[in-house]
Structure 1
Amino acid sequence: MTAVPDFPRVTVTIHPDASGEVTIQGISHPIPARADIRAARQAALGMVTLRAAIALGRPVRVTAHDPDGTWPLIVHPDGHVTAADIDHSPAGPASDRTFRLRTRDGRTSEPTRSALIGRNPQPAEGETVQTLFAIYDTGRQVSKTHARLDIDDRGSVTVTDRDSTNGTAIRLHGTRRPLRAGASLVLPHEATLLLGDLELVVELESPSEE
């Protein structure tokens, strides 16, 4: 496993009242009080994922403090959190993993390794994709071809904005990160994909789950 640099310096502090803060290179980002310590911890690590790991495109080291103790962690761009001395790899044959798309009204796609999503998604000339997932959107928040998703051989899903009108964003435990037009980001586990204001859930699957 490639060594994870000590930069940037990231600390997470969760207080007994389930509030907390994330400090990245001396800049503090408050975490409002949550229902319990676990929820506050998830919110803080979600912020680290979006503001540090994804921003840098690599894992980052975190020193976490909460009422249960203090320990070193590594936060990965795909949202996985591991102990600093553990080499984490997703369980199962990642190269065979797929994902499903699910709308809030319950519509789902077939398992796939690549998808275009939008009101009437169409591939560009010469582009190949397994799934075209049309989203019913009377409010026209979603562009005709809004975004593309791909899963790599490690089981990480990347979302790419297709110069959409209302933008694409990722929300994880209350923290929202927009994509620049045409840009790509790794989609963390448990994150919600936002197409304008419309929510889309991406569910990872292993071959044994199909």
Structure 2
Amino acid sequence: MKQGNMEAELAKLLERSGDRVRAVLNILVEAPYFYHTDNQELYFFLKRHRREFAEFFKQFYGWTLLMDGKCARVYKSEWYNQAISPATRTMFNFTRRDECLAFMMLLEFFEHQLEENGMTVEDRDNLRFRFGDLLGHVFRRFQESFPEKKESYSEDLVRARILKPIMPQLERYRFLMRITPPEDLSAGEDEIIYEALPAMYHYNGNALSRVIPELANDEQSASTREET
């Protein structure tokens, strides 16, 4: 779309639905992800006028609008204010190696669970899982990735030092949501239920693991074992 046409389309949209346009723009920058369950009316408005919003962000900010049936976000590829160091930026970012690995393993677990349950982003309900099942997957993957350091990655240590500390961050940035059990049901830690929110579909565990040497090497070894 040419710039003149884009500005005309945006002007018409603002004139017709200024309040909703401003609401959508604010929602998209107030949090990393805009879920259709946050406000279904505004989400459908964004979906209906996706082209106009995408052109707006591209033209004025150089951002990319990403959207599927459940989740919308704007992707910023470059940080312009170099006076703000990476350490002081408010953004989702694990810095410790084991935390990064655990996040990759969560994505692997998510993709495996989707496959086992025959689920896709088009399903109305989101995937739910037990904390204990996630712990089992992450523990196994650390054992496979660091066979010479198995004692350092016992199940108890993986639980206490790696997985439990990152769960609040995953909830804060809306990757996961902890499901509150009924008042008459007391659940142990392993029985806690989490819901995987739609942002999880925007990450590719297989692609990301290729840049993590520990996971890449382990996957290559697993592939070799399967071939033999």
Q: TM over 0.5: same fold?
A: no
Q: TM-score, normalised by structure 1?
A: 0.28
Bigger proportion of residues as strand: 1
Bigger proportion of residues as helix: 2
Q: TM-score, normalised by structure 2?
A: 0.27
